[in-house]
Structure 1
């Protein structure tokens, strides 16, 4: 019996990564492949809301991918892959982030485009395969797209994202702005999360030269919910830095309504980070007007500064 093909996104999965895994697994299944959507971590409230609303089963969690066959969606760096990915066979990658360090022994299908979401690329892959997108899959893809582009407000948003969003909304029978507001409300639900859970909830690791860097992000319409716990959050960040030996760790607290962020810092390189982000830190905190995207507005200047 042939091995199943696991379609899986990054650790600390978000809505784009989970919905993309489900949608691409469905496309592979239509093409005759035994593809299984999977996730590499706990679900967040927004993503669970999306799946519950669509009546879609939560993908099973894959804790160790060693020896498995994988399609990576929404990432291509080993620091973000499921545990055991280095000992797995990676057969495809579909992503919209910078090119990372995942390598393969054989040529593979690798699709990477500078758009606002992996869901945008997957919509095009359905078209290329001449496969229709049903209402449920359209809702999943639209959710991933709107979540990653902050309802088309993020600077990562392209004209292609906008066009695809309108098409998916029509297929799903949804209004982009109305449904987007529902997602923003869910994205802001921090619930009873501890400071550590806030730091690591939407978190990615990067290697910038010799430096290991962690960057977390909390997207909310109520940033005070996080910033009122500033000292506890900074203490949690310090603990993570000590445990993982990061050169520096940043937490972006992004105000979705005002379209700006406050950044907290742990570890070293405060001056370098401040210069890279054109910001001045006071008591390990800095204000970043107009900054919403970790991928486009934070990672590139930090990589240049620290590499």
Structure 2
């Protein structure tokens, strides 16, 4: 009996990652493929709320993907993949982020679009396949969109995201603003975690011209729950820098109500972060007005700064 293909997202899974893995596995199964959803890490409070709300089984954890066949969703960089992915066969990628350097020996389906959520792309894939989106699947896909776009308020939000969210909300039978408010309230539970759990809750690692840069984000309606523990949080960030040999670790504490972020930083290359973001850190902290998107407002700027430094 052949092994299944695993649909899996990045190492610190968020709601879009988990919901996309479940939804795409459902679509592939409808098309006759032996595919199962998986996760590469623990669920955050918001995602746990979503799977409970829609009565969905949590995907099994895949700790080592070596020798397996993988479909990657919501990422396409080895620095973010499940352990063992470099020794796995990657057969598809569905994503909405920058291209990150994964190579394959054979041509694969690689769907990458500049939208606010992987779930937006998956909705189109259901339509392309002429497959019905059930109430439960619509709830999952809607959750992925609302989470990743901060209820359609993030600068990454596109008209497609808005159109698809409205349609999915109709299928799921919810008011997306009211449901989105429920999602946002779950994000504030991050303050109940330990400093290490907080800084790694949505952590992604990037390779900028050979230097490993960690960029985390905590989205909350109560940023004080994190910032009041700043000394312990920065200490935890320094531990991560040492463990992962990061040039720097930038953590965005994003206030979802005020629509801005406070950045915390650790590591030896703080000056490059200051250059890239055109800011100054005092006691490891800097206020970034209007910054909500790591993908659109932070990653490109830091990639340019590190690239210019190494040139």
Question: Do the structures match in fold with TM over 0.5?
Answer: yes
> 1:210 offset after TM fit, Å?
2.4
Distance 1:225 1:54 in 2: 28
Distance 1:114 1:176 in 2: 22
Distance 1:103 1:7 in 2: 18
TM-score normalised according to structure 1 size: 0.99
> 1:176 offset after TM fit, Å?
1.1
Matching residue of 1:15? 15
Matching residue of 2:268? 268
Matching residue of 1:214? 214
SS in 2 for 1:276: helix
RMSD: 0.8
Matching residue of 1:148? 148
Matching residue of 1:119? 119
Q: Does structure 1 residue 53 correspond to structure 2 residue 67?
A: no
> 1:270 offset after TM fit, Å?
2.3
Matching residue of 2:224? 224
SS in 2 for 1:188: helix
> 1:191 offset after TM fit, Å?
4.8
Matching residue of 1:29? 29
Matching residue of 2:249? 249
Q: Contact 2:191–2:226 (CA<8 Å) still a contact in 1? A: no
Distance 1:19 1:210 in 2: 32
Matching residue of 1:91? 91
Could you report, residue by residue, the CA deviation over 1:161-206 in whole angstroms, capped at 9, with x for unpaired residues? 0000000000000111000000000112125311111111110000
Distance 1:80 1:90 in 2: 14
Q: Does structure 1 residue 138 correspond to structure 2 residue 138?
A: yes
> 1:271 offset after TM fit, Å?
2.5
Distance 1:116 1:108 in 2: 23
Distance 1:136 1:271 in 2: 47
SS in 2 for 1:184: helix
Distance 1:68 1:244 in 2: 25
SS in 2 for 1:63: coil
> 1:2 offset after TM fit, Å?
2.2
Q: Does structure 1 residue 285 correspond to structure 2 residue 285?
A: yes
Distance 1:67 1:54 in 2: 32
SS in 1 for 2:298: helix
SS in 2 for 1:100: coil
> 1:274 offset after TM fit, Å?
1.3
Distance 1:6 1:18 in 2: 12
> 1:225 offset after TM fit, Å?
0.6
Matching residue of 2:160? 160
**How many positions carry a matched residue from both structures?**
307
Distance 1:81 1:162 in 2: 29
Could you report, residue by residue, the CA deviation over 1:192-228 in whole angstroms, capped at 9, with x for unpaired residues? 3111111111100001002110011111000011111
Q: Contact 2:145–2:161 (CA<8 Å) still a contact in 1? A: yes
Could you report, residue by residue, the CA deviation over 1:13-41 in whole angstroms, capped at 9, with x for unpaired residues? 00000000000000000000011000000
> 1:292 offset after TM fit, Å?
0.5
Distance 1:151 1:296 in 2: 17
TM-score normalised according to structure 2 size: 0.97
Distance 1:128 1:53 in 2: 28
Structure 2 unaligned spans of 5+: none
Q: Does structure 1 residue 237 correspond to structure 2 residue 241?
A: no
Structure 1 unaligned spans of 5+: none
Distance 1:218 1:266 in 2: 16
Could you report, residue by residue, the CA deviation over 1:51-92 in whole angstroms, capped at 9, with x for unpaired residues? 001010000000011111110000000011111111111100
Distance 2:134 2:282 in 1: 51
Range moving further from structure 2, 244-253 or 273-282: 273-282
C-alpha change, 1:283 and 1:12, in structure 2 (3 Å) is same
